[in-house]
Amino acid sequence: MRMFERPRMAELLKEQFADMEQQRETSSIGMWIFLATEVMFFGGMFTAFACYHHLYPEAFKSASRHTDFWMGSINTAVLLISSLFMALAVQASKTGDRRALVRFLVTTIGLGLVFLGLKGAEYAHHIHDHLLPGPSFRYENGSEAGAAQLFFFLYFAMTGLHAIHMIGGIVLLVVLTVMARRGKFSPYYHTPVELGGLYWHFVDVIWIFLFPMFYLIGGR
């Protein structure tokens, strides 16, 4: 364990809390409540997908064969590994290992950027293939075109919303990295790193469900 300066605890502990543990848990619970509202936010779209998949099961299957299977699989792996590094960053913040914390945070940011880059390449590919819903939408099977367009509307809306959350997460991690470099965190106080981790893992969990919905249901 690296040496760290023992901070003046009275400055870290806000007066409305009895002790550091209560202060930490209050922040954590607040983050969980926020994540529960995020579940509801995404939940409406998951419900829409479930309903339309129920109404047009065959069209959704064939439409899902138009998404980039291997790109999606690689992106899932990238995101899962980024979550490992985020968890390692939280551990490093608990033991006060500042150098490891910065290294893990930067790795997590890098993997997040790789994910967004691959996703952008996928989007460009789909738009080129006229799969973006709207006037330019083209689909080879005319009788399934309407339902396929619904599928791709949900695809762009849900992965797009997920990507916006990824961008937000990356901004959050950049702020945490700067704070970590300045030595703001120690074994006594590292709640922001933990909360950032909760958010990053949550975004990962959303993708874990988006992946089978858009890439796997049609088989290969």
Partner 1 sequence: MAGNHDKATALGGNPVLMEPSATLRVLYRVAAGLLALLALTVGLAFIDMGPFNLLMALLIAAAKAALVVLFFMEVRYSSRLTWIMAGAGLLWLLLLIGGTLADYMTRVTLVLPSPLPQTWTATTEEKADPRDPRNSGNLGPAGGWSPADIAPSGPSGTPGEPVPSSDQ
Binding site for partner 1 (CB under 8 A): 9-10, 13, 18-22, 24-25, 28-29, 32-33, 35-36, 39-40, 43-44, 46-47, 50-51, 54-56, 59, 69, 73, 76-77, 80-81, 83-84, 86-88, 90-91, 94-95, 142-147, 149-150, 186-188, 197-198, 201-202, 204-205, 208-209, 211-212, 215-217, 219-220
Report the alpha-carbon distance of residue 59 to residue 218 in Å, rounded.
9
For the bound state, the minimum distance from the C-beta of residue 160 to partner 1, rounded and expressed in Å, comes to 18
Please spell the DSSP secondary structure of 175-195, one letter per residue. Answer: HHHHHHHTT--BTTB-HHHHH
C-beta of 13 vs 157, nearer to partner 1: 13
In angstroms, rounded to a whole number, what is the distance separating the alpha carbons of residues 9 and 60? 57
**Greatest CA separation found in the chain?**
70
- Under 8 Å between Cβ of 147 and 59: yes
Q: Which residue's CB is nearer to partner 1, number 73 or number 124? A: 73
CB of 65 to partner 1, least distance (A): 10
CB of 143 to partner 1, least distance (A): 6
The residue (of 123 and 211) whose beta carbon lies closer to partner 1 is: 211
Residue burial 1-18, b: 16+ Cβ < 10 Å; e: rest: eeeeeeeeeeeebeeeee
Asked if 94 and 1 count as a contact pair (C-beta separation under 8 A), the reply is no
Cα–Cα distance measured from residue 127 to residue 145, given in angstroms and rounded to the nearest whole number = 16
C-beta of 136 vs 143, nearer to partner 1: 143
For the CB of residue 33, give the shortest distance to partner 1 in the complex, in Å: 6
Q: Are 186 and 159 in contact (CB under 8 A)?
A: no
Rank residues 88 and 102 by Cβ distance to partner 1 and give the closer one. 88
Smallest gap from Cβ 102 to partner 1, in A, equals 18
